[in-house]
Structure 1
Amino acid sequence: MDDLLRAVARDAGRPLLRTRGQVVSTGELAERARRVAAALRGRGVSAGDRVALVSGNSIDRVAWMFGIWWLGAVEVSVNVELRGPMLAHVLADSDPCLIACQDECLGPVREAASGDVLPMSELTADPVGPAERDELDAAQRSFGPGDLATILYTSGTTGPAKGVMLPRAYFSNLAEIWADRLRLDADDVGYFPLPFFHVDGHVKLAACVQSGGSMAFRERFSASEYFADVREFGATWAAGVGAMLSILAQGELPEPGSHRLSRMIGAPIPRIAYETFEDRLGIPVLTLFGQTECDGIAMDSVEQRRRGAAGHPHDAIEVRVVDENDRPLPAGETGEIVYRPRRPHLTALGYWRRPEATVEAWRNLWFHTGDSGHLDADGFLCFDGRRTDSFRRRGENISVWELEHSLNTADGVRECVAIAVRDEHGGEDEIKVFVVPDGDGLVPDEFVAHCRKVLPRFAMPRYLTVTDGSEFVRSAGTGVVQKHLLSRDITSPDVMEVPR
């Protein structure tokens, strides 16, 4: 919020948000946000209240986000791809006083929500007069940098997704790091085709506000329109995820000199992205290691980058690799990646209504990522895999517990076990599910239809194997399936590939 008000004071007419059909200045965004804040206050929303925001990328979504913060209320940023039990859990767990929903998302939200849902288009947001504007701005300045601003849900490993609590200064402080590593200034235009409901969208927007540049975006990623957008917007930098970069690298590429793109950043970076964008097109590709809990633990810069690494730690965050007793390991040795901030409000406050999970993650004065990695001799952080039972697919973290729980509700199913199989092109996970039928009642096509009904698109299994479960090796006492012993083969006749 402070970043936006400072940007308005510097130059209220400076373009900030760009779409194919609209350009919105910092002043216009602030005015829209004040209108939302005033209208929400009229509906009884006040500081500390949670407002669930279910919306795809749009200028309205950004105005709502700032409007919620203007009141000191808490934005619950909901993934629009969620369906069924996963969506119901987020809406129930966050306990919002209001669910604001983009009109296109109303169907699944109303099915999953227990309370009233407000279509965003129905909010009456009248112009704010000078007196009310001064009152809202004065109230906004009374909130502290450590007050709760946003709850973002991230995949659990042994239970439902957890709400990550982010303080008001979090986005601004991390944006300073992004702006420094990317060398952003007022002439830069960032292109962002990824979802705003994730942490990256929040931080990158703050980086644009701070630097005086602008953010161009579209509702969702389009491979065929990507470089046309880059040219149209005059984008100088862009963000992506592994699968997206892989798709772009295999498509039609721009002619040298036809665009202003001078750096790309994302994670994970597949080899084809380096070969295509760096080697063929001369566009530096930067990588980062980040989580919702801290979006930018290690980051490349144009001057300091290494292929295959996950980024270089910077001065704001202390990073270590430790053994099972939290003792630091020497360079080159794999252990768990842990970190802690060197200044306030750079990491999450904890997990919403999960004090035990908060204590477990932040033990011994370090945040434990649950990821394996190592530091090389030059200090670059290298990611070696996940220690937890979760997947990463299409840039989304997926709780295996939630995935299996949703699939086990299908008719004719006794048990489902999900594992990751490597997508060598995108550098991420594909999902293979072993399905144990309950008698003879399983119809594969009906099971796939159930998957599409209860799962977001990014969590849809790619491969299915119907089995009697005889190959499952279970741990003594707990009965947990030892997934590392299951076959990763996707070419045998008993493996069904699910149609896209």
Structure 2
Amino acid sequence: MFDGDEQWTYNEARSLSRGTAAALQKLGIQRGEPVLVWLPNASDIVRVHFGLCYMGGIFVPINLALRGGTLEHIIRNSGAKTIICHTHLLDRLAAVKLGSLERVIVFGGEAKGELPLAYLPSDVLTPDEGRFVEPSPPIQPWEPHGIFYTSGTTGPSKGVITPHVHTAVMGKCALRFFQEDDRFLMNLPYYHLGGALTPHAVLGFGASMALMKNFRTEEFWDEIRRTQSTCCFLLGAVSTFLMKQPPRADDADNPLRTAIQQPLPQYSVEFAKRFGVALYTQLDMTEMGPAIMSPLITDRQMPHGYCGRLENIWPTFEVRLVDENDCEVPDGEVGELAVRCDMPHVISPGYWAMPEATAKSWRNGWFHTGDALRRDAEGNYYFVDRTKDSIRRRGENISSAEVEEEVLKHVDIADAAAVGVVSKMGEQEVLVVVEPKRGKTIDPAELLEFLRPLMPHYMVPRYIRVMDKMPYTETHKVQKAMLRSDGVSAPGVWDREAHGIKVKRELIG
């Protein structure tokens, strides 16, 4: 089901996909060739993706929010010759270097412009199933169907190579509770693998899906009811946005039965009861599916950072928490999550055209996730931080996630991000960026006093920045790389030391 109540049966989806594959073949797209796709959530992006899957091309979707250097990086890194682009995005291409691009297929309007590219109208991709030529030899499970660029929250985006079996297995594991009568509301952008894996998963279970064009908090439950969706992802700040909506008498009167909530917030039990939804959580990423998954979250609030356990439903994963020398750390200590799988190609083979980054993450026979976790004696795993998001101050390692958890206890704060900024002392200082709730204001000095009894002295931020709206990715993650880049030179950054406020260690004895 798509916007405007467009619907496909399984047979219609197959016919449209094979017909689009034939059109791509006619354009000369080769097996193994990357094709940039810059389209909104609608039926066209699904059929283009599946068309490329059928004929062996590689689907390379682009974040609709991108422009400038980040856009240029993806165009250049992909090496694509063809971009399928919505007309409203063409002006952004005019402002960047176009790498290897030779032509643009324009959807949503007239195909003309001043770019040094051949312009083609969208009707060159009109489906024509009768002309489809089956690839020979047949497409294999280990061949890549996509390259998905990471959100770039910690640095330049890397293109994650995704084989067919990688995405199929990820979908089967992530939606492990799915049934034939379920309908998944795909409320993520399709350029995010969490969105693009949905049709793969749905096909595997014989179920159905609805594609949400744009996520809007105030329209979410209306869309759930309109599409009669029974399941969805709740990633990043989405559940926070929904919880902050005024309560309604019919909050629990909706068809949604199950949601995968990542990360699991402090109010997960309250959320489940308010909206009548069964919750699961898990730890996964674009490079791999969920090796660590939770059972059904019941009426007990799980501890902060809880991700679940090693659940080898199928296939079999091995996980380790390791130090900087790849030595396993004992239970209770924090280490980087490293993973491997007994089925080849379930974990991505690497980053597109980035051999050094690939070698760094896939070393010693394990994929190193960059996630810092700890494991308790019962085998439960808890997310602590991204390894690059940890802050080193005065000899102490600080979890940005733990700082943010305390900041969010302030009743007037809607969202918060903690990052490390350069210190004259040789390590880092803590900068907290906060977004007030609508209609509220934040006094940095008052916030500081609120935090002092909640944190050890070394965790209390030196710098506080108040923003009406923090920079988010399209998957509702705060773009910490941007906040770090702005640093303390951004307008309005408040420095407690400049105001004569010192926070010192409490001496005992």
- The TM-score normalised by the length of structure 2 is 0.72
> Equivalents in 1 of 2:166, 2:275: separation in Å?
35
* Alignment partner, residue 448 of structure 2: none
> Equivalents in 2 of 1:342, 1:46: separation in Å?
31
* Alignment partner, residue 341 of structure 2: 341
Q: Which digits, 9 at most, give the CA deviation of each residue in 1:65-86, with x for residues without a partner? A: 1111222111112111111000
* Alignment partner, residue 227 of structure 2: 233
Q: Which residue, out of 192, 211, 221, partners 1:217? A: 211
* Alignment partner, residue 145 of structure 2: 149
Q: Which digits, 9 at most, give the CA deviation of each residue in 1:206-251, with x for residues without a partner? A: 1111112111222121111111111111111121223111010111
Query: Which residue identity is paired with 1:295?
Result: G
Question: Does structure 2 retain, via aligned residues, the 8 Å contact 1:278–1:284?
Answer: yes
Question: Does structure 1 retain, via aligned residues, the 8 Å contact 2:22–2:129?
Answer: no
Post-superposition offset of 1:362: 1.2
* Alignment partner, residue 164 of structure 1: 160
Q: CA RMSD in A?
A: 3.5
For the residue of structure 1 that corresponds to 2:140, the secondary structure is: coil
* Alignment partner, residue 61 of structure 2: 77
Question: Does structure 1 retain, via aligned residues, the 8 Å contact 2:252–2:276?
Answer: no
Question: Does structure 2 retain, via aligned residues, the 8 Å contact 1:148–1:165?
Answer: yes
The yes-or-no answer on 1:203 pairing with 2:200 is no
The yes-or-no answer on 1:311 pairing with 2:299 is no
Post-superposition offset of 1:38: 1.6
> Equivalents in 1 of 2:61, 2:260: separation in Å?
23
* Alignment partner, residue 260 of structure 1: 255
Question: Does structure 2 retain, via aligned residues, the 8 Å contact 1:55–1:101?
Answer: yes
Query: Which residue identity is paired with 1:365?
Result: G
> Equivalents in 1 of 2:414, 2:30: separation in Å?
44
Structure 1 range deviating more: 198-207 or 278-287:
278-287
- In structure 2, the CA distance between the partners of 1:34 and 1:334, relative to structure 1 (3 Å rule), is same
Question: Does structure 2 retain, via aligned residues, the 8 Å contact 1:189–1:237?
Answer: yes
Q: Which structure 2 segments of 5+ residues have no match?
A: 109-120, 392-399, 423-468, 501-509
* Alignment partner, residue 105 of structure 2: 118
* Alignment partner, residue 31 of structure 1: 15
Q: Which digits, 9 at most, give the CA deviation of each residue in 1:434-467, with x for residues without a partner? A: 9xxxxxxxxxxxxxxxxx9x99786465996765
The yes-or-no answer on 1:194 pairing with 2:188 is yes
For the residue of structure 1 that corresponds to 2:75, the secondary structure is: helix
* Alignment partner, residue 417 of structure 2: 429
Query: Which residue identity is paired with 1:108?
Result: R
> Equivalents in 2 of 1:389, 1:167: separation in Å?
29
Query: Which residue identity is paired with 1:189?
Result: R
Question: Does structure 1 retain, via aligned residues, the 8 Å contact 2:179–2:207?
Answer: yes
The yes-or-no answer on 1:369 pairing with 2:366 is no
> Equivalents in 2 of 1:463, 1:84: separation in Å?
16
* Alignment partner, residue 169 of structure 2: 173
Question: Does structure 2 retain, via aligned residues, the 8 Å contact 1:338–1:368?
Answer: yes
> Equivalents in 1 of 2:258, 2:295: separation in Å?
9
For the residue of structure 1 that corresponds to 2:310, the secondary structure is: coil
Query: Which residue identity is paired with 1:204?
Result: T
- In structure 2, the CA distance between the partners of 1:202 and 1:126, relative to structure 1 (3 Å rule), is closer
Post-superposition offset of 1:140: 7.3
> Equivalents in 2 of 1:268, 1:303: separation in Å?
13
For the residue of structure 2 that corresponds to 1:176, the secondary structure is: helix
* Alignment partner, residue 426 of structure 2: none
- In structure 2, the CA distance between the partners of 1:212 and 1:355, relative to structure 1 (3 Å rule), is same
Query: Which residue identity is paired with 1:146?
Result: W
Query: Which residue identity is paired with 2:93?
Result: V
> Equivalents in 2 of 1:140, 1:69: separation in Å?
14
% same residue: 29
> Equivalents in 2 of 1:488, 1:28: separation in Å?
58
Question: Does structure 1 retain, via aligned residues, the 8 Å contact 2:182–2:231?
Answer: yes
> Equivalents in 1 of 2:487, 2:278: separation in Å?
41
- Name the count of aligned residue pairs: 410
Question: Does structure 2 retain, via aligned residues, the 8 Å contact 1:152–1:165?
Answer: yes
Q: Which digits, 9 at most, give the CA deviation of each residue in 1:283-308, with x for residues without a partner? A: 22221211111132322232799453
Query: Which residue identity is paired with 1:172?
Result: A
Q: Which digits, 9 at most, give the CA deviation of each residue in 1:16-60, with x for residues without a partner? A: x34353222222222222232222222111101110011221111
> Equivalents in 2 of 1:389, 1:462: separation in Å?
10
* Alignment partner, residue 12 of structure 1: none
* Alignment partner, residue 285 of structure 1: 279
For the residue of structure 2 that corresponds to 1:174, the secondary structure is: helix
Query: Which residue identity is paired with 2:309?
Result: H
- In structure 2, the CA distance between the partners of 1:307 and 1:219, relative to structure 1 (3 Å rule), is farther
- In structure 2, the CA distance between the partners of 1:325 and 1:456, relative to structure 1 (3 Å rule), is closer
Q: Which digits, 9 at most, give the CA deviation of each residue in 1:385-433, with x for residues without a partner? A: 1212599xxxxxxxxxxxxxxxxxxxxxxxxxxx998362777636798
Post-superposition offset of 1:281: 3.7
For the residue of structure 1 that corresponds to 2:254, the secondary structure is: coil
Question: Does structure 2 retain, via aligned residues, the 8 Å contact 1:199–1:295?
Answer: no
> Equivalents in 2 of 1:103, 1:490: separation in Å?
48
* Alignment partner, residue 96 of structure 1: 80
Q: Which digits, 9 at most, give the CA deviation of each residue in 1:314-359, with x for residues without a partner? A: 2132221122222222222211111111212211111112222212
> Equivalents in 2 of 1:266, 1:488: separation in Å?
34
> Equivalents in 2 of 1:429, 1:365: separation in Å?
34
> Equivalents in 2 of 1:166, 1:194: separation in Å?
18
- In structure 2, the CA distance between the partners of 1:271 and 1:337, relative to structure 1 (3 Å rule), is same
Post-superposition offset of 1:491: 12
Post-superposition offset of 1:276: 3.0
Question: Does structure 2 retain, via aligned residues, the 8 Å contact 1:240–1:265?
Answer: yes
Q: Which digits, 9 at most, give the CA deviation of each residue in 1:243-282, with x for residues without a partner? A: 111010111445265212122113122223x143224344
* Alignment partner, residue 92 of structure 2: 108
Q: Which residue, out of 231, 238, 242, partners 2:236? A: 242
* Alignment partner, residue 410 of structure 1: none
Matches within 5 A, 1:424-463: 424=408, 429=417, 459=479, 461=483
> Equivalents in 2 of 1:311, 1:77: separation in Å?
30
